[in-house]
Structure 1
Amino acid sequence: MTAPRTVPGVRPVIGVDAGTASLREADHLVHHLADRLGLPAGTIACTHLIRTDDRRGTAVSLVPPNAGAAEAAWRRLAALDVPELGAALGDRTHGPLTAARTAALAAAEHTARRGGRAVLYPGVEHLTGTVTAADLLTLTAVDRLTVVGAPADAPGPDPATPVHTRDHVRPEWRDGRLTLALVPAAGGTLAPFEVPEPTPCCADHS
């Protein structure tokens, strides 16, 4: 097996399609793969909505912290006995053609940072209970905070504003930045726009 061609400073992205339909199922898939593939700290894993002629559902993308970790994850992924699983890494594919193509779409979207909802990312372990807006930006990989309903050119929330995480914080790639959408909550506080349904996914993985 040859090593993937990479660009210096660019982290390889693995796309995976295992036939999941909902975001919640994709969240479970992310945690399952993180365990099975031994993904190291610093990995970013996202879910992606897929809408093509052949597929309606979700896929995931995995970005280990370096090329070596990505190659190790790819080898373990290819060794999994999951016939319906498709995967893509650079110009390599694995599994059924349709699933591999969908996996490549997820990988391309994450590589361009134009889409993808982050489930795993550096610092996510700090986002339990109530934190401040400043904590979100200084302790995690989240780059930007927005408040739903605020003008597009409005500054972000006051750094001291409490944010009720509900133990479920899913920022998204927007214009190259990992962005978390927040909504006003009681008492001048904020909360993530996405509400856990019905409870935070995979709490036992925390």
Structure 2
Amino acid sequence: MMFSVAPAAPAAGAARIIGVSLGHRTLAEADHWIGGLTPPPVLACTHLVAEPFPHVAISLLTALPFESTPELEPAASAAATGQNGRAVRFPGVERLTGELTVSEILQRSSISRVEVLGSGVADPATVVETGDFVRPQFRGGELVLVTTPAAGGRLIPFERRDPTPCCADH
């Protein structure tokens, strides 16, 4: 169930966190919607919600107001007040392309930490092959990029643009 919702008239004042729930069924649908926003929000995160049906709600740091359909307003509120999410837009995201060291990622963006799944904080000199797709986790007010080991002592982001489906070889 998709809804076509245009932003309401710009509100006077500073950017604030708002929640939007439009019934996106997949992360890719929500990412696409976020990518089409003009002007782009300072921060945009996706949140998996279960009510009133499983879908992806969105939180935005923006000065623009957006409306959700009335039945999805609880999901929008949950996204706006959530302490965890998956960041799609954040300061510096456009500079995280190609191969970068952990140190470069931290310098070029608002990501505060790079972790290796199950191993803790990554070494600042380690190279991360971004695949031009970086989706850090928003945890309690900070962005954390979770990575996994790759060939040659490098790292790759845990979330990939085109992941291999579970049990693909069966």
The CA deviation at 1:175 is: 3.4
Corresponding residue number in structure 2 for 1:28: 32
| TM-score, structure 1 as length reference | 0.69
Q: Where in structure 2 are there 5+ consecutive unaligned residues?
A: 1-8, 164-170
* 1:133-191 deviation digits (Å, cap 9, x = unpaired): 001111101011110121xxx4x222111100001100011233211101001100001
Aligned residue among 1, 17, 32 for 1:13: 17
Aligned to 1:129: 98
Task: Report the equivalent of 2:59.
Answer: 61
What is the identity, as a one-letter code, of the residue corresponding to 1:191? I
Which residue in the other structure is 2:81 paired with? 108
Q: What is the RMSD computed on CA atoms of the aligned residues?
A: 2.1
Counterpart check, 1:160 vs 2:125: yes
How many residue pairs align between the two structures?
154
Q: Which moved more, 1:21-30 or 1:96-105?
A: 96-105
> Given that residues 45 and 138 in structure 2 are in contact (C-alpha distance below 8 angstroms), is that contact kept between their aligned partners in structure 1?
no
Residue 45 of structure 1 corresponds to which residue in structure 2? 44
Aligned partner of residue 159 in structure 1, secondary structure: coil
Letter in 2 for 1:20: H
Paired letter, 1:115: N
Answering whether residue 147 of structure 2 is matched by residue 178 of structure 1, we say no
In structure 1, C-alpha distance between the alignment counterparts of 2:98 and 2:148, rounded to whole Å: 16
AA of the residue aligned to 2:19: G
Identity over the aligned pairs, expressed in percent? 41
User: Relative to structure 1, is the Cα distance of residues 99 and 122 closer, same or farther in structure 2, using a 3 angstrom cutoff?
Assistant: same
TM-score for the superposition, normalised by structure 2: 0.82
Is there any run of 5+ residues in structure 1 with no aligned partner, and where?
65-69, 79-85, 87-95, 199-206
1:184-195 residue pairs with structure 2 within 5 A? 184-195=149-160
AA aligned to 1:184 is P
Tell me the amino acid that sits aligned with residue 107 of structure 1: A
* Inter-partner Cα distance in structure 2 for 1:116 and 1:127: 19
More strand by share: 2
Name the aligned partner's letter for residue 131 of structure 1. L
Measure, in 1, the Cα distance between the counterparts of 2:130 and 2:13: 38
